[in-house]
């Protein structure tokens, strides 16, 4: 699989290293340039590799576009809470679009295996309720927005699980793993912002985030519907 995407993976690895380096050394001007390249590069590569007349692909591309908006807003989050809210909304929309894309694959064969979907339903239910209850007293006015965001990203991860046996194994594994890394990234971000900032939090947040977006994008490119075309 990596051989098919070797050149882009190398380019994306450079973008990843540049973002982590800028974050570690607090290079604000560099970050303003390299952070948007995450979703821009993924979006361009995705357009080159898929047919956009398929609904699944259009949804993935739209999610990358809203993720780009989210990245840009969050770069200025320290300058005022409205930027954080706008970033939160952008990623909320991105997760809804990812969820709609994954639901298309579930609809392709609702009777296929549900084991991973049921597993994620249980795990995300327990994790989301527990984590939100733990964060709640630290959220202040952000309680409802964070609750809504956690609900949506949980749905996204659950629906990624329900793609099992409805698409080829490679696409399922990549997107499923990407969804999990998205949950991890946003959980670290929430802890760092609302509970206690910690050293190299940006590296942990951005590292897991970039891996999540890469896996979902490449998983979308590698997607083959198991039974019948689902446009």
Q: Comparing C-alpha atoms, which of 214, 206, 203 is closest to residue 178?
A: 214
pLDDT tens digits for range 84-100: 889 999 999 999 999 99
Question: How far is residue 218's CA from residue 170's CA, in Å, rounded to a whole number?
Answer: 10
Q: How far is it, in rounded angstroms, from Cα 10 to Cα 64?
A: 20
Domain-located, residue 113: yes
Total residues belonging to the chain = 231
Within a domain: residue 48? yes
User: What is the overall mean pLDDT for the chain?
Assistant: 93
- Does some domain include residue 229? no
Q: What global pTM score does this model have?
A: 0.94
- Write out pLDDT tens, residues 31-71: 999 999 999 999 999 999 999 999 999 999 999 999 999 99
Q: DSSP string of 89-152?
A: HHHHHHHHHHHHHHHHHHHH-TTS--HHHHHHHHHHHHHHHHHHHHHHHHHGGGHHHHHHHHHH
Confidence class of residue 82 from pLDDT cuts 50, 70 and 90?
confident
Note whether residue 114 is domain-resident: yes
* pLDDT tens by residue, 154-176: 999 999 999 999 999 999 999 99
- The verdict on residue 151 lying in a domain is yes
Whether the per-residue pLDDT at 208 is higher than 80: the answer is: yes
Distance, CA of 192 to CA of 201 (rounded, Å): 7
d(CA 60, CA 175): 11
What is the distance between the alpha carbons of residues 129 and 171, in angstroms, rounded to a whole number? 29
pLDDT score of 229: 46
Secondary structure class of 224 (helix, strand, coil) = coil
Tell me if 231 is assigned to some domain: no
Q: Is the pLDDT of residue 109 over 90?
A: no
- Contact assessment for residue 37 and residue 11, using Cβ atoms and an 8 Å cutoff: no
Q: What is the pLDDT of residue 227?
A: 63
Q: What's the total number of domains in the chain?
A: 1
Using alpha carbons, select from 73, 21, 23, 43 the residue that is nearest to residue 201: 23
How big is the CA angle at 51 (ends 45 and 55), to the nearest 5 degrees?
110
pLDDT at 197: 87
Residue 110, both tokens: 């609702």
State the residue range of the domain holding 176: 6-221
pLDDT of residue 80: 59
* Cβ(148)–Cβ(93) below 8 Å: no
Whole-angstrom distance, CA of residue 171 vs CA of residue 222: 5
Give the C-alpha distances (Å, rounded to integers) separating 143 from 96, 135, 136, 138, 190.
Answer: 19, 9, 6, 9, 11
121 within domain boundaries: yes
């Amino acid at each position: 699989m990596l051989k098919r995407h070797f050149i882009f993976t190398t380019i994306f690895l450079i973008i990843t290293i540049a973002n982590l380096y800028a974050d570690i050394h607090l290079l604000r001007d560099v970050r303003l340039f390299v952070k948007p390249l995450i979703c821009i590069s993924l979006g361009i590569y995705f357009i080159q590799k898929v047919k956009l007349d398929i609904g699944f692909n259009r949804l993935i591309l739209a999610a990358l576009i809203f993720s780009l908006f989210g990245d840009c807003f969050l770069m200025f989050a320290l300058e005022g809470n409205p930027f954080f809210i706008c970033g939160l909304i952008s990623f909320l929309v991105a997760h809804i679009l990812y969820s709609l894309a994954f639901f298309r694959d579930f609809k392709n064969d609702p009777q296929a295996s549900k084991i991973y979907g049921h597993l994620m339903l249980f795990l995300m239910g327990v994790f989301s309720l527990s984590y939100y209850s733990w964060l709640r007293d630290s959220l202040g006015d952000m309680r409802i927005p964070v609750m809504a965001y956690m609900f949506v990203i949980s749905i996204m991860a659950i629906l990624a699980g329900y793609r099992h046996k409805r698409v080829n194994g490679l696409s399922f594994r990549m997107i499923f793993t990407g969804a999990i890394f998205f949950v991890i990234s946003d959980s670290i971000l929430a802890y760092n912002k609302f509970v206690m900032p910690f050293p190299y939090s940006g590296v942990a947040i951005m590292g897991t985030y970039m891996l999540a977006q890469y896996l979902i994008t490449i998983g979308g490119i590698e997607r083959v519907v198991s039974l019948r075309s689902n446009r």
